[in-house]
């Protein structure tokens, strides 16, 4: 049977850690908990399940913490989990079956990450998506092709039917947004992935002060030649929202029109709808909200294509 190391990084997770570990512990051959500075009972709770608890000085780098946790593992595969996840009985059974039949050739197992899109969602525009959750600790490189042989570089990935439930009980948006701001302050250019995550998290969980603090970051990316059209559109959406908040009509219209000329999106339509609604131009507002709901797609927050324009149209008596 395949052996699993559960590797987790935690901080102040006393409300959810036991729930997570209760759902997984019996399937794991070792449990490694890396604590990044808890001040509550997190480590005490973890000690009920394992004695492999390590401290890691936080350096604003989740990857570094995860790599440290993985360095302590000794089993064949590493299973990564966050404290606000759990596996229900049906998927526990599926994970047990996977452990019994997993072929050694498989290097990564993807599982469905199932989001709760309620009050504590900060970055999810999806109800479920495949994510890598289990991976071979030591990869074996093999030669392929009978002639002009080469090393196989692409990992063997298995897309399972296992569902991991993400059930947070608090928001992490302010923590994540602060970390992203610090990267910019340190002169570190955001990768396309982090650029998208920053813009998305602003629209899903950001408060007015978070948008305003992001102005310099997205002004820069809107003008960078190295940014893709998708990244520029993300920046345009953030900037349009910022200038609507500021009451800067000139710059609001500049970025709204730029984004519309690039093809538009539901986020910009909602911004224009909100602007005209605030100006008491309700017919114009309703047109933009209609476009958000029916003529465009969202790129950052699915609510800009669904609940936000739908509620606005009802409010304006346009439905």
Dump pLDDT digits (tens) for 83-125.
999 999 999 999 999 999 999 999 999 999 998 655 544 555 5
Three-state SS letters, the chain: CCCEEEEEEECCCCCCHHHHHHHHHHHCCEEEEEECCCCCCHHHHHCCCCCCEEECCCCCCHHHHHHHHHHCCCCCEEEECCCCEECCHHHHHHHHHHHHHCCCCCCEEEEEEEECCCCCCCCCCCCEEEEEEEEECCCCCCEECCCCCEECCCCCEEEEEEEEEECCCCCCHHHHHHHHHHHHHCCCCCCHHHHHHHHHHHHHHCCHHHHHHCHHHHHHHHHCCCCCHHHHHHHHHHHHHHHHHHCCHHHHHHHHHHHHHCCCCHHHHHHHHHHHHHCCCHHHHHHHHHHHHHCCCCCCCHHHCCHHHHHHHHHCCCC
Q: Which CATH number fits domain 4-166: 3.30.70, 1.25.40, 3.90.550, 3.30.420?
A: 3.90.550
* CATH 1.25.40-classified regions of the chain: 173-315
- The residues of the chain that CATH labels 3.90.550 are 4-166
CATH classification of 173-315 is 3.30.70, yes or no?
no
pLDDT tens, position by position, 184-231: 788 888 899 999 999 999 999 899 999 999 999 999 999 999 999 999
Q: What is the mean pLDDT of residues 28-56?
A: 97
């Amino acid at each position: 049977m395949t052996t699993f190391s559960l590797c987790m990084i935690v901080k102040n997770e006393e409300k959810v850690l036991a729930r997570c570990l209760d759902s997984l512990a019996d399937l794991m051959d070792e449990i490694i908990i890396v604590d990044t500075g808890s001040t509550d009972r997190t480590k005490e709770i973890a000690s009920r399940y394992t004695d492999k608890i390590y401290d890691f000085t936080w350096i604003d780098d989740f990857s570094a913490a995860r790599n440290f946790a993985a360095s302590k593992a000794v089993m064949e595969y590493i299973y990564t989990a966050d404290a606000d996840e759990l596996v229900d009985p049906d998927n526990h059974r599926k994970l047990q079956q996977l452990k019994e039949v997993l072929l050694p050739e498989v290097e990564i197992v993807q599982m469905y990450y199932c989001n709760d899109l309620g009050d504590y969602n900060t970055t999810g525009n999806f109800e479920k998506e495949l994510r890598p959750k289990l991976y071979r600790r030591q990869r074996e490189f093999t030669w392929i092709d009978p002639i002009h042989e080469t090393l196989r570089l692409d990992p063997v990935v298995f897309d399972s039917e296992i569902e991991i439930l993400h059930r947070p009980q608090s928001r992490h948006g302010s923590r994540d947004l602060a970390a992203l701001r610090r990267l910019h302050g340190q002169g570190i250019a955001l990768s396309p992935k982090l650029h998208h995550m920053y813009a998305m998290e602003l629209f899903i969980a950001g408060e007015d002060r978070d948008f305003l603090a992001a102005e310099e970051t997205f002004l820069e990316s809107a003008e960078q030649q190295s940014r893709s059209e998708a990244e520029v559109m993300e920046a345009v959406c953030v900037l349009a929202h910022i200038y609507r908040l500021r009451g800067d009509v000139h710059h609001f219209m500049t970025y709204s029109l730029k984004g519309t000329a690039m093809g538009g999106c539901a986020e910009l339509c909602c911004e224009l709808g909100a602007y005209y609604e605030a100006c008491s131009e309700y017919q114009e507002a309703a047109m933009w909200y209609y476009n958000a709901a029916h003529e465009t797609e969202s790129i950052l927050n699915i609510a800009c294509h669904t609940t936000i324009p739908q509620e606005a149209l009802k409010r304006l008596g346009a439905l």
